[in-house]
Structure 1
Amino acid sequence: MYARKLNGAWEEWDGKPLPFFASDPTQKFHVPQEWSEEEKMVRFGLHRVIETPLPVGKLSLSHTLVDDGGKPRKIDVFEETEAALLAWAAAKRWQVETGGLIVAGSAIDTGRESQSMITGAYSYSQANPTELIRFKAASGWVTLDAPTVAAIATAVGAHVQACFAVEEALATAIGAGTVTTIAEIDAANWPG
């Protein structure tokens, strides 16, 4: 199984041609013969999913993909136990937290690396309020003033905090026995 990272979250690859090939099927692309299959997949943003063998006699009810040091790891849910539900809630929070948000009509990447870059830009803009900040967004280069950087940083911070607040509320509800299914976790009031 392979996955690719889209909007900060791992998503299973369905095996369909990637947009690069689908846009022009006649286009030739040279792939060096010495590349392994794994190298070819990684070059196109696909990573082999780290899987743990299923325990004997267990049937996976569902799974999610989480980030494990920059690689996708499959987390299987066998039974909706408290521990499994807590793990699912944490994985769902990470997925929503790093899945991006819209600020003033612009898509903002909220992956961990982007959060760090936004924090750095905010710190710089506070120390140098008259400086314009050059930033490479998903859509290309942008020039931001200090108030705009502050608005983006505040929105991202509020988004992240809202995600953790939902996970905390779910953890409490799971512990109390009032949330007992993965479906309830997925249907929680996640931001976005």
Structure 2
Amino acid sequence: MNTVTVLDQSRVGKKGFPMHSAAFPEIALPTKEILASEATPEQAVDPKQALMLYAADKRWQKETGGFEFNGLHIATDDRSKIMIAGAREAAKGNPDFTTPWATSTGEIALLDAAKIIAISDAVGAHVNNVFGIYAQVLPLILDGTITDQTHIDTAFA
């Protein structure tokens, strides 16, 4: 399990940790370990860690935010990706396969096997692209090239 050290807000203002701890640099901040997937950039103690958490959140937002494909908005949340994968399996086994598909904008599109497979391929490319950007951003955070969130926003734009 990947954990990170974050500020333990429940202990700030309690014995040994004044409410305005930042005014007392000689006092260590109260910290705790939590799962990285549960941490927010605001909780991070280390600036690079905050940027890494921000990048992870940006990656997730971009991955699950959907995209346009041949005039249809394709949802890419986890449920949608599972539904697309299931439709692809049905389409692979039956070239005459068709299905009414509700897009994330609420319209219904009748999709045939070729369109389902093309959408599935596009979803895979979308996810791979987002993870590729994330893989490029992380080392740049660690080596100090990326120093603020705007660099991360630009990378994922």
- Relative to the length of structure 1, the TM-score reads 0.58
1:127 is aligned to 2:89: no
1:142 is aligned to 2:103: no
Secondary structure of the corresponding residue to residue 68 of structure 2: strand
Provide the residue aligned with 1:81 in structure 2. Answer: 47
Provide the residue aligned with 2:68 in structure 1. Answer: 102
Distance 1:181 1:142 in 2: 42
1:183 is aligned to 2:147: no
- Matched residue type, 1:168: A
* Cα contact 1:80–1:180 (8 A) shared by 2: no
Distance 1:176 1:75, change over 3 A: closer
Segments of 5+ residues of structure 2 without an aligned counterpart are: 1-7, 13-20, 23-36
Distance 1:53 1:136 in 2: 43
Secondary structure of the corresponding residue to residue 76 of structure 2: coil
Partner deviation per Cα, 1:7-52 (whole Å, 9 max, x = no partner): xxxxxxxxxxxxxxxxxxxxxxxxxxxxxxxxxxxxxxxxxxxxx8
Provide the residue aligned with 1:164 in structure 2. Answer: 131
**Comparing both structures, which one devotes a greater share of its residues to helix?**
2
Distance 1:114 1:126 in 2: 18
Secondary structure of the corresponding residue to residue 110 of structure 2: strand
Q: CA RMSD in A?
A: 2.4
Distance 1:120 1:93, change over 3 A: same
Using the TM superposition, give the Cα deviation of residue 54 of structure 1 relative to its aligned residue in structure 2, in angstroms.
Answer: 7.4
Distance 2:119 2:91 in 1: 12
Using the TM superposition, give the Cα deviation of residue 186 of structure 1 relative to its aligned residue in structure 2, in angstroms.
Answer: 1.2
| Residue identity (%) | 33
Provide the residue aligned with 1:13 in structure 2. Answer: none
Using the TM superposition, give the Cα deviation of residue 142 of structure 1 relative to its aligned residue in structure 2, in angstroms.
Answer: 2.6
Using the TM superposition, give the Cα deviation of residue 105 of structure 1 relative to its aligned residue in structure 2, in angstroms.
Answer: 1.2
- Matched residue type, 1:82: K
- Matched residue type, 2:129: A
Larger Rg belongs to: 2
Distance 2:95 2:10 in 1: 55
- Relative to the length of structure 2, the TM-score reads 0.70
